[in-house]
Each structure stands twice: as C-alpha cells, then as structure tokens.
Structure 1
Amino acid sequence: MSYQITIEKTKNPKQKPDEHNLGFGIHFTDHMFTMDYTEGKGWHDPKIIPYSPLSLDPSCMVFHYGQAIFEGLKAYKSVNGDILLFRPRKNMERVNISNERLCIPPIDVDFAVEAIKTIVRVDQDWIPKSEGTSLYIRPFIISTDPYLGVRPSNTYKFLIILSPVGAYYKEGINPVKIYVENKYVRTVKGGIGYAKTPGNYAASLKAQMEAKEKGYTQVLWLDGIERKYVEEVGTMNVFFKINGEVITPSLEGTILAGITRDSTIELLKSMGVKVTERRISIEEIYEAHEKGTLEEAFGTGTAAVISPIGELNWNGKIIQINDGKIGEISSKVYDTITGIQSGKIEDPFGWIVKV
C-alpha cells in the first residue's frame, strides 16, 4: 500500500543532553511517529508530530489485557556523516511475527522501514557521535479499544519514538555477573516467549530484582518445564564457547529470535568458527567449566550488542568464566558488529541501510 507521511515540526525544540552521559532510555527526541488502525479501514493516517503524551481512555484495552508488541533497533552516525541503520527490515519482519501471536493486524514491512527512515531524518541532529553511543529506535503497537471484554481490539496505534543512548549495562563491554534462575518461569512452549511483547518482560521483573539484590546484573532463564535447559538472559540471547565450538540455544518457541543473535551466528560462521544451535543444559555448562573446556560465554542483543559473561551463579555454585575477562570471540564479534554499524568496517553481509 502507498502511504503519505505528514510531518508537523515542533515549535519548542528540547535541549539536547550531554552525549558523554546519556545512560539508556532516559532522553527522548523532539518528534514521534504515529499511525492508527481501524477495523474495516486498515492502517491509516501516518504522521510525525512533536513528542507528547498520549491521550487514552482509562478503559483502553492495552491497560487491561496487555495486547501490545514492541521492537528495538538503532541508528548510527558514520565518520563521514552518513546515517546508518542495522538490519531494520529484520526488525519489522519480527514485528509481524509478534503481531500474529498477539492477534494484532500486520503492518506493511517496507512502509514501516520507510517510517523509521523518515523520523530518523527529522531528528537526525539527536544522533550522538561519541564512541559507543547511538540513537535507539523504539517502534511499538498498542491496542486502543475502550472496552473491558476479553477479545482482540478493533483499533490500534503504531508509534515510533527515539532516544539517544550510551551503554546499556554500566559495565559496558566488561564481563557481567549472571544469576541462573531456578524459582521463577518466564515462558513455556506454546506461550508467547518468542514474541516481543511487554508481558514477557513483566514476567521477568521479579527474578531480575531478586538477582540484583544478590549483586547480579541479569538473570539466565532455564526452560519452564524441566528447569534444566538454558534459554536466554533477560534482555539477551546467550552463547557459550566450549572446546572451540560456539553453542547457542535453538529457537523452539520460548526465546526471542534476536537480530544480533542471527548476525553473530552468520559472522562467526564466516570466520570459520563452528556454531551449533541446540539445547544445552546448565549441567553441561558447569561440567565444561570443571573440565576446563568452557572458554567463553556472552550475551547478544540490540541494546548491549555483545555483553561478555564473567560469572554464573547456579544454586549457590559460582563459577568464573575466562578468569572474568572478555574472551577473544566476544571481542571479535563486538568489534566487528559495532564497526559495521558505525561504518568503520566494510559490510560484506548487506546489513547496513543508509537513511
């Protein structure tokens, strides 16, 4: 379908934050994208307007039944001034995977990518240039019917907001400490674990808070049935290098098919590294550590890109991985992906899209 995006520029531009002290998800740009869906009419009225609060009825269905999805990607400013996006189409294709599971009407992927490009162009002065910074892009869809019965909504709102960001974890590229969760369950097969929907993250908060109280950055989830097989870290997919082989949990409907995960697998294979997607138990990881064959562990995700794991705590048994230091593979993947994202390294994969 063909859409025309109308643009209304703000009359009151905000003061931009210090890009050396951005944090993550704290500051927001001058504009936002909105588009509505009405049953029988489809998606309509795409526009970019000044960033402002939403006016929603208290009975709006998203508040009561959680019918919503979101995505996350980034824009970068290259050394020669180009504005670069990293695999935006993959994110928008994943929107429709989430939409299908949550009974939300699909979006036009090509148009959604164009909408991202348009709002990034409008707020391009907000893209930070300092090392390790970027413009985080948050597309999301919420159900908007004012109705308290349980059913899919007939109306929706698609929005995109932007936030200049620094490192997601305060540790940056330094290894993080991860707590292996045994008590709580986030999702099971047949559930919504593979969709990027707020309910998955709400289900993770209790375990995450308890882990932080114990001094850990994040939680490593085990499968919801046997509490045996590794799934993912709260905000990242996870990889383990054992005896020269990189292993990551296979996609079986309970974890997110991460864009950075997919990029990491493709990149490692291009480097000649053996990569295997399969079920891997926490016992196998601890046994590999005991044998001295657990060489590295790291998480992957849009927010942190690569986050090395330096310590695991499972049932009170603490192990250090690679002496708590970043490993060779983690470092190579991080340097290569961030180099491609920033335009410093040639992109042989066709991942970069210029705005």
Structure 2
Amino acid sequence: MHRGRLVEGTVALGDRGTGAIDLARRKAISKAHSATHMIHKALHETVGPDRTQAGSENSPSRVRFDFRSASAVPQSALGEIEERVNTLLVENLDVTDQVMPIAEAKSLGAMALFGEKYGDRVRVVSIGGDWSRELCAGTHVKQSGEIGRVTLLGESSVGSGVRRVEALVGDGAYGFQAKEHALVGQLTQLLGARPDELSDRVSSLVTRLRDAEKELAGVRQAQLLAAAGTLAAGAAEVGSVRVVTHDAGEVASADDLRALALDVRSRLGEAEPAVVAVAGVAKGRPLVVAATNASARQAGVRAGALVKAASGVLGGGGGGKDDVAQGGGQDVAAVPAALGAVRDAVAAQAS
C-alpha cells in the first residue's frame, strides 16, 4: 500500500493515476541498505556476534545502524570495520536474494531482526555468497562495488545498552573524503609539516598552549592577589563591620576571586567584624564571592545571605556556608549594583 498527499487539483475514488519511482534516490538508498548489511557483518567479525541489530535508517548517501552492546566500540575497531567493508567493495561481491522457507534460511545462518515476526517463507539477501546473509525485504545493489565507498563517522550511545554507528555511503563518502583532504592540505600549509607529521605537530602545539595558559593564569592570579594589601587597608566602615567590596574585572574563574577574598579577609584579622565581597567576570558571566570572619558571623552577618543578595541583582543565584559563599548571574553591567547590595545587606544583618 502506498500513501500520498494531494498537493494540487482534485481526485475522486476510482480515478486512475501513475506512480513513478525516483530512480536516483532509490539507487542511493539501495547502496546505503547494502552497506548497512556489510557494516553489520563486519561488526560481528571485528567485535563479536552478540552485537545484534536494534534498528537502522537508510537514507541517500547516509546510514544509521543501531545495535545492542553493553560497551562502546573502540575507535581502532571502527577503523577495522571500515577497512574490511571497503576492501570487500573493491572485490565487487555479488548481492543476491532468494525466497525460501524460514527453516532453511535459519539453517544457512541468515541473520534476523530480534523480535521481528516472520512468515513461513522469507527473503534472504546474500552478499558474497555465504559471507553475509540476512532476512530482508529491502532494495539492494546487484554488486558491492556499486556502493563505491563507506566512511564511518563515529559511534555513540543512544540509550541503555544500545549503540549507534553512523556512516556515509557513495557520493556522501567521496564528498567527505574530499573535504578531509582539503583540510589536511590547509593544515600542512599552516603548520609547515607533511601530512604524516600533523598529529605530532598538533599534539606539541596543544601541549605548549596548555602550558602557556597555565602560566598566564598564574600571572593573572598573582596580579590579582597583589592588590590584597591595598584593598584591606581601604576597608570601609558599615556600622560596626569593616567591609571590602571590589570589582576585579576579567578573571579566569571563581577560584581566583575566592583566593583574593580569603587573602583580604586574613589581612583584616579577627579583632573586629569584617566582610569581603569580590566580583568579576569569567567567560562573559558575572561572579561574586563573599567571605566573613568569625567576629562578623557572631554579629549575625552570613556570607551565604550576602551572595544571595548580590546574585539576585546579577540575575542569577548562589549560596554557600556562613564563612564563604559564591554565586553569579547573567547581567555583567549589574556588578557595581551587586556590590552595593552586599553593603546594604551587611548593614541590615549587622543591625
């Protein structure tokens, strides 16, 4: 049965119509379908026969194959599967089909979909004689060489105990290969290395970049902490509490703000109540860290409440312990107002 949708004109029961197959699309899907059978068989050969099919989608130039597995397929195994399939494409194996009793199909070792119901007679699609045999009613190529090429894109989890392999077939695989070749060419020019040297060269550059980022982060933190003495000396009096609020600007992370807040708090000592609130922007997001000494907490000032007040102004939330807390939001422009909210909250809590 075919279902259609009327897009123009009229139709009545009994009218005659003509149905036509999109041959180019059908041929592309046939290649993808035959490639799915080959990937399935190669998966069994490489990883194990317990990886049973759980579903598939055959689109023009693209394949999605789902199978049951408790663990991921190693990248090296995917490479072996791709190599195995493409080797057999070159061998141009015959793809045949035959209708037979289901008992005979099972005796030949034909694979069937788990949970699928079959009749007494079934269609068996064979690739390379007895290399791959599956019960299948779909459309296929006549010889494996018609597929052209198969490129596995990767493997991932799609649910509990179910993995998915995605692949490009025919024109899609050739197009992908051409793009990869062009990308390799660009990288060889940028890095001044031969294609076989790219992996080592990129690995070296990534290592150097990470080392430089760590060194830069250390320099930034040192510069940030260098202001601790000045900030402590400039503490303002809010009632009976000495308060330091500071906008540190761009920072690497909340850890830098926390380190600064704790440094300033230690310089203020415990002789009288003290509160430190430091704000900054990391990766485009405003952050705030508040720290209180024991005297301030005895006076009723809690860091968590201060951060809650500041984060509300920033359009976010946060919290923590009474001595140290942190939060953040979305509105970078509201940082000065958030620090003002901390001062107001200190005045309210200490009163």
TM-score by length of 1: 0.19
**Where is the helix percentage greater, Structure 1 or Structure 2?**
2
Q: Which has the higher contact order (CA 8 A, sep 6+)?
A: 1
Larger Rg: 2
